[in-house]
Structure 1
Amino acid sequence: MGTTFHGPSPWPPITRAVRTRGPRRAAIAHLGQDAPTLLPLRAGDVLVVNASRAAVRAHLTSPIALAYYLDAGVRVLSSPNLHANVIVTDRQAVIGSANASHSSTIADEAVVITDDPQVVAAVRAFIDGIEEITEVDQAFLDNATAQWQIGRAVPIPGVSGRGQVDPGFLPAKITRMFLRHIVEYEPSPTEHHTWTTQARHHRAPAGPAAKYQLEWFHHDKSDTRLKQGDVLVFVTADNEWIYPPAVVDSEAIAIPRTPGAIGHLLRSRTDLSPLPVPDAEQTLADLGHPNPRLRADHRIASASLRTALLQLWNL
């Protein structure tokens, strides 16, 4: 392979380089909530991250990502002085500017990927030699969750990237909307832990961030393949209530030790309330949609019906 340069969008080749046999070590300064999609580590790997109080309060390192890696069996360590972003496998090293976050995927980043044995050894020694290390365990996670609650997203040039000041809610253009009935299921211990950790720090009062909350949507790989930016509208199984729209806020995340199950993070507004289905049907009929099919799961292909559904909540 030799040495190759990748930029300004290096995450696809980084992810490919990481998908290899043998243990991996990574020192990544900051993790977004979708870091596991970009950086697919597994049991036995080592991840060093800056999960200091300042980084977590600024919403640069997500407790959701920390909990996910811990549940996957990754050894997670925190170093408050870490600013580097390097990864090493048995045969390759990745050196560059990219944090494992969505903002990094839309910023201009650059990395070098090499199989030079001396560089690979040097990167491994660098990661193993990082000082001021704290083991990330459940107590650490609980504290990080509390810090996230009282913090807020702070745009930092070169770290948080553009588009992070206000993530907004609905996409500028909605092309895919789905209606789904709520299905009761028993989450696995792994999923339940990640879900409850996420819920604690997003639902508590936290200034402007309290306007939004994140929820898990669990489904099987055989179901419709969702994409980031898709909009979901949920109806209760008894067709009694229809819930405000939620936006898919992550790519599919495989749930460890549950073959075939995946989850998505959904972003929703905390200030919007569900509506009775009969009332919604009447309002939609008044808006020119006498048969909105609220009692059946389907993709809402009609652009005008998508608009009318959003108008139920003045969106």
Structure 2
Amino acid sequence: MGTTFHGPSPWPHITRAIRVRGPRHAAIAYLGEDAPTLLPLRAGDLLVVNASRAAVRAHVTSPIALAYYVEAGVRVLSSPNLHANVIATSRRAVIGSANASHSSTIADEAVVITDDPEVVAAARTFIDGIEEITEVDQVFLDNVTIEWQIGRSVPIPGVGGRVRANRDFLPVRVTRMFLRHFVEYEPSATEQQAWATQAGRSSASTGGPAATYQLEWFRLGDRRARLKRGDVLIFTDDNEWIYPPAVVDSDAIAIPHTHRAFGHLLLVRADLQPVSVADAEQRLANLGHPNPRLTTDHRIVSASLRAALLRLWNL
């Protein structure tokens, strides 16, 4: 393998590099709620984090993530002085700026991954030598949960807040994203009336210049598939084009004279252009996602893949 540099979206490479046998030792300063997806540790591994009162109250280290690792059998320690991000496996070392958080997946981060034995040994020595540590047990978790509730989120690039420009129509945290294929159909007169009525009520909430933002209509035929406000949809068209993200901007709107059909208003940016599926697959592969399943309708569970898809439009 040698030594490789990865940026500005290194998390897919980090996750892949640490999926090895043997114990892993990690010193990751800050953990978001989705840290276990990015940093898949198991029983017998060691994790040192900064779960100080300041970090927890600022919502940059999540008690949910801490509890997940403890319950999985990972030995978790807290050091209030930790600001480094270093991982050591039996064969590799990962050294860089990336915290284990959703915010880190949308920030410009960089890491070096190496199998140089001296660097791997030095990384392990650094992690094992961190001082001022406290064992994270159930009492610790109870206390940090209280601190989290007292505190508030502080936006720090790569740690606790969104940092990219031109994301103003997207939720601060994109946690639910779906890939869907366009289905051609002719809306009925009653459906068009329901659409027009709801669009009129929602027009004041779209924000931004009228030429930039538009409301579109999306019909679903099954209430069990109901979406939520803030969900992000990405559409493909006959496997040729993938279209910019659309954000659900309304609750479910019942369509009159149908048994189960309903619709949603979607907020879109008119200045973003579609990308060919072939180009998108290549760019996503370059970001560490060689099989993004762009030809299959599904919910996109991976936080790093959600971030990579948004990067297709520099979002």
Scaled to the shorter chain, the TM-score interval is: 0.5 to 0.7
Distance 2:3 2:76 in 1: 28
* Partner AA of 2:71 in structure 1: D
Tell me the SS of whatever aligns to 2:77: strand
Paired residues, what number?
206
Q: Is 2:251 aligned against 1:306?
A: no
Q: What is the letter of the counterpart of residue 265 of structure 2?
A: T
Query: How far, CA to CA, are the matches of 1:118 and 1:152 in structure 2?
Result: 41
Deviation above 4 Å: which 4+ runs of structure 1? 163-176, 246-249
**Which residue among 242, 245, 253 is the counterpart of 2:228?**
245
Is structure 2 residue 13 aligned with structure 1 residue 45?
no
Q: Which of 256, 275, 290 is the matching residue for 2:258?
A: 290
The answer as to whether partners of 2:93 and 2:114 remain within 8 angstroms in 1 is yes
Asked whether the 8 Å contact 1:169–1:247 carries over to 2, the reply is no
- Other structure's SS at 1:5 match: strand
User: Which position in structure 2 is the counterpart of 1:226?
Assistant: none
Instruction: Write out aligned runs for 1:179-194 (5 A).
Output: none
SS for the counterpart of 1:306 is: strand
TM-score, normalising length: structure 2: 0.58
Matched residue, 1:68? 68
The alpha-carbon distance between structure 1 residues 155 and 2, as it changes in their structure 2 partners (threshold 3 A), is same
Answer yes or no: is the 8 Å Cα contact 1:55–1:61 preserved in 2. yes
Aligned residue in 1 for 2:84: 84
1:153 lines up with 2:153 in the alignment = yes
Q: TM-score, normalised by structure 1?
A: 0.58
Per-residue Cα deviation, 1:196-221 (whole angstroms, up to 9, x for no partner): xxxxxxxxxxxxxxxxxxxxxxxxxx
Question: In structure 2, do the counterparts of structure 1 residues 244 and 138 end up closer, same or farther at CA, with 3 Å as the change threshold?
Answer: same
Unaligned runs of 5+ in 2: 181-219, 233-250, 267-315
2:5 maps to a residue whose letter is: F
**CA deviation after TM superposition for structure 1 residue 245, in Å:** 3.3
**Alpha-carbon distance change, 140 to 6 in structure 1, aligned in 2, over 3 angstroms:** same
Give yes or no for contact 1:25–1:124 (8 Å, CA) kept in 2: yes
Partner of 1:114: 114
Going from structure 1 to structure 2, the CA distance change for 1:91 and 1:248 (only over 3 Å counts) comes to: farther
Equivalent in the alignment of 1:20: 20
Question: What does 1:164-183 align with in structure 2 at a 5 Å threshold?
Answer: 167-168=171-172
SS in 1 for 2:81: coil
1:8/1:110 contact within 8 Å kept: yes
Letter in 2 for 1:107: A
Give the conservation status (yes or no) of the 8 Å contact 2:162–2:173: no
> CA separation of 1:15/1:171 partners in 2, compared to 1, >3 Å: closer, same or farther?
closer
- Give the Cα–Cα distance (whole angstroms) in 2 for the partners of residues 169 and 142 of structure 1: 26
- Alignment CA distance shift 1:65-1:167 (3 Å): farther
Contact 1:59–1:148, Cα closer than 8 Å, also in 2: yes
Q: Secondary structure at the match of 1:307?
A: strand
**AA in 1 matched with 2:41:** L
Map of 2:59 onto structure 1: 59
Q: 1:117 to 1:139 in 2, by over 3 A?
A: same
Q: Secondary structure of 1:305's partner?
A: strand
The aligned residue for residue 141 of structure 2 is 141
Q: Hey, what's the Cα distance between the residues in 2 that align with 1:173 and 1:7?
A: 24
Gaps of 5+ in 1: 177-230, 236-241, 250-273, 275-279, 294-303, 309-315
* Alignment partner, residue 301 of structure 2: none
Where does residue 193 of structure 2 map in the other structure?
none
How far 1:53 sits from its partner (Å)?
Answer: 0.5
The one-letter amino acid paired with 1:284 is: A
Q: CA deviation at 1:305?
A: 1.3
Q: Does 1:8 align with 2:36?
A: no
Distance 1:126 1:305 in 2: 55
Residues of 2 paired with 1:48 and 1:156: CA distance? 20
Tell me if the contact between 2:174 and 2:231 (Cα under 8 Å) persists in the aligned partners: no
**1:167 to partner: Cα distance:** 4.9
Q: Give, in whole Å, the separation in 1 of the partners of 2:35 and 2:42.
A: 13
Q: Answer yes or no: is the 8 Å Cα contact 1:57–1:150 preserved in 2.
A: yes
CA apart distance, 1:161? 4.8
Question: Which amino acid is 2:44 matched to?
Answer: G
Task: Tell me, yes or no, if the aligned pair for 2:154 and 2:161 is still in contact at 8 Å.
Answer: no
The offset of 1:59, in angstroms, is 0.5
Over residues 4-52 of structure 1, what are the superposed CA-to-partner deviations in whole Å (9 max), with x where a residue is unaligned?
0000100011001110000000000000000000000000000000000
